[in-house]
Amino acid sequence: MTAEGLPMTVPAQDLPDRVRIHEVGARDGLQNEKSAVPTEVKAEFIRRLADAGLTTIEATSFVHPAWVPQLADAEDLFPQVADLPVALPVLVPNQRGLDRALALGARRVAVFASATESFAKANLNRTLDESLAVFEPVVRRAKDEGVQVRGYVSMCFGDPWEGAVPLHQVVRVCRALRDMGCDELSLGDTIGVATPGHVLELLSLLNEEGVPTNVLGVHFHDTYGQALANTYAALEHGVTTVDASAGGLGGCPYAKSATGNLATEDLVWMLHGLGIDTGVDLGRLVATSAWMADQLGRPSPSRTVRALSHKDQ
């Protein structure tokens, strides 16, 4: 560690020079919060994340307000941050969600599929194939409007109802989303059960089945403390897009065993230590998560936030 409280830079072989962090704290991080976070606090959170150097900040979801009450203020929030010079993707589950997002000028959207029937039903109230059929015209219309589309695939490594998830099921959903026209896919370990060999096996199989690494991002929840190890494995495979949540906030209201995402600060500490550029100012990011933890009334679960917040005490 340096005197400034930053990691020593000691590069490792065969890793990318730069990683794009897809920050999900304002969406995945907050969607599970029980008490309503004021819209102004969410907007300030997003502004601070942008100021810390994050360039892709998932802002909110245009889902049914009764399904995710915390994000029912999407129409109020999005215009408050729309002028920031960063990409602000939003989740859209269907045509209605896309209408709402386009009406506010969103230029990036994400549909969210599941590798399993159980989660498709729990999260989208549809079978897996019905949900893909809903997404198809959503993706087509977004592309026609010149809007960039991400396709999430949840439960890639395990499912709380079904247990192990066969890799070919994950590949089938990934290929369907690519065939629809999704620009990027994000491989979700919704309940945080993956281990590095499993990650490498899925990435290799996707490549063999025609899905190239450069369209893949990884989205690890940290339930079993594996998110950083899994990320390192993905980096070794050549993945350069990593999802993370400031302060390690998060969880999915429709998957009870999901905890927070990989904390952005823990990710940045590792990446900067490896000499991998992220564009993020770690000090500002830690200050943002410490501020957000105060707003939520409990300490951040991020190890790096805790270590750096207490450094001077």
Where does this chain bind ligand HMG (CB under 6 A)? 28, 31, 61-64, 67-68, 91, 93-94, 96-97, 112, 123-125, 152, 154, 188, 190, 219, 221, 252, 254
Active-site annotation holds for 174: no
- If one counts every other C-beta atom within 10 angstroms of the C-beta of residue 89, the result is 25
| Binds 152: which of ligand HMG, Mg ion, none (CB < 5-8 Å by kind) | ligand HMG
Supply 192's token pair: 């945080």
Pairing of strands 20-23, 241-244: parallel
| Binds 63: which of ligand HMG, Mg ion, none (CB < 5-8 Å by kind) | ligand HMG
CB of 154 to ligand HMG, least distance (A): 3
Of 25 and 276, which CB lies nearer to ligand HMG in the complex structure? 25
Q: Name the residue among 177, 176, 267 with its Cα closest to residue 220.
A: 267
Of 119 and 309, which CB lies nearer to Mg ion in the complex structure? 119
CA distance 48 to 41: 10
CA distance 275 to 265: 15
CB of 5 to ligand HMG, least distance (A): 31
Asked if residues 75 and 104 have their Cβ atoms less than 8 Å apart, the reply is: yes
What residue number has its CB nearest to ligand HMG? 188
Of 152 and 269, which CB lies nearer to ligand HMG in the complex structure? 152
Query: Which DSSP helix (H) or strand (E) runs through 110?
Result: strand 108-114
| Binds 115: which of Mg ion, ligand HMG, none (CB < 5-8 Å by kind) | none
Asked if residues 56 and 23 have their Cβ atoms less than 8 Å apart, the reply is: yes
Tell me whether residue 264 is exposed, middle or buried, using C-beta atoms within 10 angstroms of its C-beta: 0 to 12, 13 to 18, 19 or more. Answer: buried
Of 114 and 300, which CB lies nearer to ligand HMG in the complex structure? 114
| Binds 264: which of Mg ion, ligand HMG, none (CB < 5-8 Å by kind) | none
Among 156, 174, 182, 252, which one carries the catalytic annotation? 252
Tell me whether residue 298 is exposed, middle or buried, using C-beta atoms within 10 angstroms of its C-beta: 0 to 12, 13 to 18, 19 or more. Answer: exposed
CB of 271 to ligand HMG, least distance (A): 21
- CA–CA–CA angle 159, 234, 168 (5° rounding): 45
Footprint on this chain of Mg ion (rule: CB under 5 A): 28
Of 123 and 169, which CB lies nearer to Mg ion in the complex structure? 123
Supply 79's token pair: 């215009």
CB of 312 to ligand HMG, least distance (A): 34
CB of 6 to ligand HMG, least distance (A): 29
- If one counts every other C-beta atom within 10 angstroms of the C-beta of residue 311, the result is 10
Of 110 and 290, which CB lies nearer to ligand HMG in the complex structure? 110
Output phi, psi for 91, to 5 deg: -85, 140
| Binds 159: which of ligand HMG, Mg ion, none (CB < 5-8 Å by kind) | none
CB of 68 to ligand HMG, least distance (A): 5
The residues annotated as belonging to the active site are 252
